[in-house]
Amino acid sequence: MERRPALGGMGKYSRKQILIFSGSLLALGVLGWIDYVTGYELGFFIAYSAPVGLVAWHLGRWPAIFTALIASIAWWLADSFDGAKYSTAFYWIWNNVVHFLSFVINAVAIAKIKTDLDEVHFLTAELETARRMLRAFAPLLPVCPACNKPHAHPPGVGSVAWLANNPVLPEITGALCADCAAQQPQRSPN
């Protein structure tokens, strides 16, 4: 599975990833301007989350957390320049921290989902390769793994004694004798 580089080494990113990151920062700037123009009473929280999620999906957790910080700053600047007033400094701090943490939660969750999906795809491909190899070698087994009935192989192919001590999974296509194969439920090919 491919590892993503840390934020510090931008030279390690592909052109597509750099464009996604740059485009997301540009989108945050545009969203900040729209947020400023429409006033602080109209919330754009979900719109700020989209570039964070895009970066999380394509670049990973740390670039997305950095983008979450930029999204929080853009939100704060839009509200500050628009004249948002808070009765105490605590409310100002609270709102900024809550927005930032919400963006970080989105970033980490989306990056984790992407990483897990990548791992599932990698393991699925690895499993399919192993299945193909098992199917290729299944006809060489000396006995049926389900009933231990000997196959009609040429002499010297496999050892019945070895197989008796090392059972083989009966799902291997081509390894079952004709009687056992007829008793197996039909599977749709994946």
Predicted confidence at residue 101, as pLDDT, reads 97
- Residue entry with tokens 């123009």: 37
Asked if 62 and 13 count as a contact pair (C-beta separation under 8 A), the reply is: no
Question: Which pair of structure tokens corresponds to residue 10?
Answer: 């931008």
> What's the whole-number mean pLDDT along residues 33-45?
87
**Helix 15-38 and helix 61-82, axial crossing angle in degrees, nearest 10:** 20
pTM confidence score: 0.70
Q: Where are the domains of the chain?
A: 12-131, 141-183
> What's the whole-number mean pLDDT along residues 13-42?
92
